[in-house]
A and B are shown apart, each in its own frame.
Chain A
Amino acid sequence: GQNIDQPTEMTATEGAIVQINCTYQTSGFNGLFWYQQHAGEAPTFLSYNVLDGLEEKGRFSSFLSRSKGYSYLLLKELQMKDSASYLCAVMDSNYQLIWGAGTKLIIKP
């Protein structure tokens, strides 16, 4: 079967760095997405990786290793507003989005 695994919840301190991991097993691969979702709101796009390596975008970076079926989202200089759920999603060979359950990130002062 297809599955995406990511931690259920993580806690970090304001100003620190946190890494949210995502491992996947899917039928084919057409890219991996990270989304941020604040409670009660639609998810917002953070990053898209289709090739191995690190993509940096401001305070957020996303890494992909296709051979390992692994990605991580790195958040630097954490701010209280970064408290949200972070969703990892993989597009498989049929262009279906396989979604992880999300990681709830709690930022403490």
Chain B
Amino acid sequence: GAVVSQHPSWVICKSGTSVKIECRSLDFQATTMFWYRQFPKQSLMLMATSNEGSKATYEQGVEKDKFLINHASLTLSTLTVTSAHPEDSSFYICSARAVAGGDTGELFFGEGSRLTVL
């Protein structure tokens, strides 16, 4: 089946620094990628939807300037948490949707990235 790789799996950073998380579709082209955040024992919360070559669409309450999303190619999307603070510590997960033509609407999920901000 389709594989989505997310990197890094774990990241620990100091408050005020920026962290970049990559999401790659390894064996298919993804027109759309979704970024989620999940706090312990809570549901996945959709942060934003990114389409290749265009600006991401952010969910209400998600700061665009803080969570920068770039989807420059059909196989790569990045989420940059700028000026991270301890409250940004969370589990971030991406999912990717295959291109139209073979698009069944199925989403493939990355393994997730755990961010801890000290």
Q: Judging by beta carbons under 8 Å apart, are B111 and A96 in contact? A: yes
Nearest first, the 8 A-B pairs at minimum CB distance are A45-B43, A39-B105, A40-B105, A97-B112, A99-B109, A42-B46, A96-B111, A95-B114
Number of interface residues, chain B, beta carbon within 8 A: 25
Digit string of A42-58 for contact with B (CB within 8 Å is 1, else 0)? 11010010100000000
Q: Judging by beta carbons under 8 Å apart, are A94 and B9 in contact? A: yes
B66 CB to closest chain A CB, in angstroms?
A: 21
Digit string of B86-106 for contact with A (CB within 8 Å is 1, else 0)? 000001010101000001111
A37 partner, pick from B9, B93, B107, beta carbons under 8 A? B107
- A38→B97 CA distance, assembly (Å): 13
A-B pairs with beta carbons under 8 A, tally:
48
User: Dominant SS at the A interface?
Assistant: loop
Q: Judging by beta carbons under 8 Å apart, are B97 and A31 in contact? A: no
List residues of chain A with CB within 8 A of the CB of B10: 94
Digit string of A11-54 for contact with B (CB within 8 Å is 1, else 0)? 00000000000000000000101010111111101001010000
Query: Contact size class for A?
Result: 20 to 34
- Is there a chain A Cβ closer than 8 Å to B11's Cβ? no
A42 partner, pick from B41, B91, B107, B114, beta carbons under 8 A? B107
For window 71-109 of A, CB contacts with B under 8 Å fall at 85, 89, 94-99, 101-102
Query: What is A's interface to B at a CB cutoff of 8 Å?
Result: 31, 33, 35, 37-43, 45, 48, 50, 85, 89, 94-99, 101-102
Most B Cβ at <10 Å: residue of A43, A85, A98: A43
- Is there a chain A Cβ closer than 8 Å to B12's Cβ? no
- Is there a chain A Cβ closer than 8 Å to B67's Cβ? no
Q: Could you pull out 7 A-B pairs where Cβ atoms are within 8 angstroms?
A: A33-B43, A37-B107, A42-B107, A95-B114, A97-B91, A97-B111, A102-B106
